[in-house]
Amino acid sequence: MSRPRPVPAAGGASLHRRIRDDLERRILSGDWPPGHRVPVEHELMAAYDCSRMTVNKVLTELAAAGLVERRRRAGTFVSKPRPPSALLEIPDVKAEILALGLAYGLHFLDRRTRASSAADMHRLGVTTPREVLALRYLHIGGGRPFALEDRLIDLSSVPDAAGETFASEPPGSWLLAHVPWSEAEHRIRAIGADTETAHLLDLPPAAACLVLERRTWRNGAPVTAARTVFPAGGYELVARFHPGSGRDGDGPPRKGA
C-alpha cells in the first residue's frame, strides 16, 4: 500500500499546505483510487512529524473539496467520482495537435507579471488583488496558426509559474502536468473574428471562430483563467458519455463572477 512520505520544507509553504498538496496529488493522480482508505491520523502524524491539529485541518479541507469522505468510526476514504455534469475535460492543445500528426510550435505574443487589474479579478472570480502572470500566445500546428490563447495564472496559487520559461511545454500543458485541480468551469461560444484575431490566425475578417473560456480551481483557490480561440473549421469538441452520467441542463460547477 502506498504510504505518504515526509514532505521537504521547500518553497516557503506552510507545513499544513505541503501535507495537503502531497495527499491531494496522490488522490488526483490515481495513486490513491476512489474508495482507498487514507492512513489514519496517527499514521499521518508520524509520517509528517506534525500535530493532530495539522492533520485534522488537512483532512477537513480535502473533505470540503470533495476529495475524501470522513466516516465516523470507519476512517477517511477517497471519494468516488460523482456523475459528471461537465462533459468536457481540460484540453491539452499541444497533445491534440500532435495527435493530428502535426508538428507543434508555440509563439509568445506577450508575457508579463503584474498586479491584478479589476478585469483580471473578474476573470479569476476573486475580489482581492493578487499578483498574476498574464500570457498571450499562438499554438502552431504544422507551421500554421492553430489557436490563439490568452491566459492568467494566479501566482498566489501557482508561484512556480513566475520562473517557468514554458520552453518545453506550453502553459496549459505545464499546468496540467504540475498543478492538480479540483474544479473546472467551461464556457463555449461562437464569435466572428475581430481584425487582430483574424490577422493572428490567418483568417478572413469576421471569420467564424470557436471560443473556449475555462477556469480551474484547487481547493477553492483559483489556478488559471484561459480564453482560447480556434478557427471554427479546424477544431471540434467531442464528449462521450452514457445514460445517467448527467442530466440535460447540467453545467459545470460555477464560482466567482
DSSP the chain: -----PPP--TT--HHHHHHHHHHHHHHHTSS-TTPEEPPHHHHHHHHT--HHHHHHHHHHHHHTTSEEEETTTEEEEPPPPPPS---PPP-HHHHHHHTTPPEEEEEEEEEEEE--HHHHHHHT-SS--EEEEEEEEEEETTEEEEEEEEEEETTT-GGGGG---SSS-HHHHHHHH---SEEEEEEEEEE--HHHHHHTT--TT-EEEEEEEEEEETTEEEEEEEEEEEGGG--------TTS--TT--------
CB 56 within 8 A of CB 102: no
* N residues, the chain: 257
Least confident of 26-40, 58-72, 201-215, 243-257: 243-257
- What was the pLDDT predicted at 4? 57
Q: What is the pLDDT of residue 8?
A: 46
**pLDDT one-digit tens code per residue, 129-174:** 999 999 999 999 999 999 999 999 999 999 999 999 998 899 999 9
Output the pLDDT for position 5: 53
Phi, psi of 96, rounded to the nearest 5 degrees? -70, -40
The more confidently predicted of residues 64 and 122 is 122
In angstroms, the CA 80 to CA 82 distance is 6
Rounded Cα–Cα distance for residues 48 and 41 (Å):
11
Please write the tens of the pLDDT for every residue from 93-137. 998 899 888 999 999 999 999 999 999 999 999 999 999 999 999
* Nearest alpha-carbon partner for 172 in 135, 207, 120, 210: 135
Nearest to 89 by CA among 192, 3, 216, 209: 216
The pLDDT of residue 241:
52
- Domains in the chain, please, with CATH? 15-78 (1.10.10.10), 93-233 (3.40.1410.10)
Kindly state the average pLDDT of the residues 227-250. 61
Q: Collect all residues with Cβ–Cβ distance below 8 Å to 230 and sequence separation of at least 6.
A: 146, 147, 209, 210, 211, 212
| pLDDT for res 245 | 44
Which pLDDT tens digit goes with each residue over 11-56?
445 788 889 888 988 887 788 988 899 999 999 999 999 999 999 8
Cell of 92: 491539452
Query: In what order do the strands lie in the sheet containing 183-192?
Result: 104-115, 131-141, 144-154, 221-231, 208-218, 183-192
pLDDT, position 17: 83
Tens digits of residue pLDDT in 177-226: 888 888 888 888 889 999 999 999 999 988 999 999 999 998 889 999 99
